[in-house]
Structure 1
Amino acid sequence: MKNKYSDQCLEEKMVKYSDLIRIKTKENNEKLVKLDGSTIPNGYVLEFSEMKKITGENIFVRETIAEKLNNAQTDIKKKCSNLSLFVTFGFRDLSVQTIRFLNELKNQNKFYADPSDLYEAVHRYIAVPNVAGHPTGGAIDIIIVDKDTQKTIDFGGKQYDYRTKNCYVFTNTITQKQKENRMLLRTTLIDVGFAPFDGEWWHFSYGDREWAYFYKKRGAIYNQITYEDLSKFML
């Protein structure tokens, strides 16, 4: 009961769809760039490989995100030379986000008298498209790997495991060492300007609505990019 109550408290404190929809955006037209694998190792995982149809094996992010990742990589190597950041997702086409959202919407088997509560419930698993960070090119999914073993360090839960509470950054269901590993990732990314999302230990962003909410900015600087406009944002 203790862990369940604790996780409920964590959920109440997480940023919600209703928080994000109120935040205004003013697109700054910053370009998308391909992540350089020699600097920031990256690659899609099987569960989230839909973008390969659009960008191939390449992961794209906004220019500033790439710069901040380079800085974060330098910082983490100073802390431990055998560790490296590894990005598993960046820009997600809005159509891909929408399909995932609609699929999760169909999976809801509970009646909500207020439709907004339904959106909030789904948003916990997959962001509502019009406020989602990945379609802006400003959000990333990221882990830390041990270069000696080529394996992910122990975060106390598999990445993209949304169905358990282990995805919550501050869950009480993990060990002290696993908490320390999550804090290593979190502090490294925050130190270079990324905003964390407490509902997913692997998710960080800059320039989107979540970033604006976390840092109490006047508004977001990146908006969602549609497939039709994608070419305008490519360098």
Structure 2
Amino acid sequence: MHTFQYLFIALTLLLFNSSVTQLPKGFVYVSDYIPEITLELRYFGTNNFVGTPIDGYEAEKCILSLPATKALQKAQAALKKQNIGIKIFDAYRPQRAVDHFRRWARNLNDTLMKKQFYPDVAKKDLFKLEYIATKSRHSSGSTVDVTLIHLDTKEELDMGSSYDFFGKISWVSYQELTKAQLHNRKLLQETMLQNGFRNYPQEWWHFTLRGEPNRNQYFDFPVQ
């Protein structure tokens, strides 16, 4: 092989490697550890409370800290015995995505998705009611938004409200639900808590790893 051919191959490999996302130390792709995990990353698409893809979500890939991923792996294994699995709606969230939410929340004229996600809440109150914030635990890399699915059909279990619904019906303590809905929420809560996560009382889907690494650090690398 001629020298210029070696140089061409070396340059090609260099360019390829430079284009591959290098995650910060301690972060991993969840699918590398839980290959069967189901993803529906809402902020990569338009089915979310803004109604558009969110800044920083360049691929439908799920990123978490390694300890959070291992804890989620244990939760998935526990549920699998009942033919139940986990679906992830969001995990690591770049700070630029949080900034996108803030800009959207200040534009009171943009209410495209109000009927679906916040029908009973005035958009001007989203900050006051803490549905939108300037910082998110998601940006630290150990917080995940999840629901449960039947493994054979991939159908979601009925939790009584949709993901990211802004209202009391989404609170963990809300009781005006059917027995089946209460059972499903209890199964999710108990499984996540027993496997190292703590919940967020106002969102049944939201969990943060106890003793999380990178606490109060807010990363901004894109999801790609």
TM-score, structure 2 as length reference: 0.69
SS at 1:152's partner residue?
A: coil
Which among 120, 141, 147 is matched to residue 145 of structure 2? 141
Where in structure 2 are the equivalents of 1:145-164 lying within 5 Å?
145-162=149-166, 164=167
State whether residues 90 and 134 of structure 1, in contact with CA within 8 Å, keep that contact through their aligned partners in structure 2. Answer: yes
- 1:179 is matched with which residue? 182
How far did 1:69 drift?
Answer: 0.7
Q: 1:220 to 1:122 in 2, by over 3 A?
A: farther
- 1:67 is matched with which residue? 70
State whether residues 59 and 90 of structure 1, in contact with CA within 8 Å, keep that contact through their aligned partners in structure 2. Answer: yes
Q: Which has the higher helix share?
A: 1
The answer to whether residue 130 in structure 2 is matched with residue 129 in structure 1 is no
**Number of residue equivalences:** 179
Where in structure 2 are the equivalents of 1:191-202 lying within 5 Å?
191-202=194-205
Gaps of 5+ in 1: 1-28, 111-117, 213-218
What do you get for the CA RMSD once the two structures are aligned? 2.8
State whether residues 42 and 59 of structure 1, in contact with CA within 8 Å, keep that contact through their aligned partners in structure 2. Answer: yes
SS at 1:135's partner residue?
A: helix
- 2:103 is matched with which residue? 102
How far did 1:220 drift?
Answer: 6.6
* Relative contact order, higher structure (CA 8 A, sep 6+): 1
How far did 1:60 drift?
Answer: 0.7
How far did 1:122 drift?
Answer: 4.4
Tell me the distance in 2 between the aligned counterparts of 1:56 and 1:205.
Answer: 23
Sequence identity percentage: 20
Q: 1:75 to 1:99 in 2, by over 3 A?
A: same
Amino acid at match of 1:58: K
How far did 1:196 drift?
Answer: 0.2
- 1:23 is matched with which residue? none
Tell me the distance in 1 between the aligned counterparts of 2:193 and 2:199.
Answer: 7
- 1:16 is matched with which residue? none
- 1:39 is matched with which residue? 36
Tell me the distance in 2 between the aligned counterparts of 1:201 and 1:53.
Answer: 25
State whether residues 43 and 59 of structure 1, in contact with CA within 8 Å, keep that contact through their aligned partners in structure 2. Answer: no
Amino acid at match of 2:84: L
Amino acid at match of 2:101: R
Tell me the distance in 1 between the aligned counterparts of 2:56 and 2:75.
Answer: 29
Deviations 1:2-59 (A, max 9, x none): xxxxxxxxxxxxxxxxxxxxxxxxxxx7522111162322231343473585441111
Amino acid at match of 1:134: H
- 2:219 is matched with which residue? 225
SS at 2:177's partner residue?
A: coil
Q: 1:222 to 1:192 in 2, by over 3 A?
A: farther
Deviations 1:73-129 (A, max 9, x none): 111122x1x21111111111101112213322444546xxxxxxx85x142x12x23
TM-score, structure 1 as length reference: 0.66
SS at 2:39's partner residue?
A: coil
Tell me the distance in 1 between the aligned counterparts of 2:35 and 2:158.
Answer: 24
Tell me the distance in 1 between the aligned counterparts of 2:175 and 2:139.
Answer: 31
Gaps of 5+ in 2: 1-23, 109-122
- 2:4 is matched with which residue? none
Amino acid at match of 1:224: Y
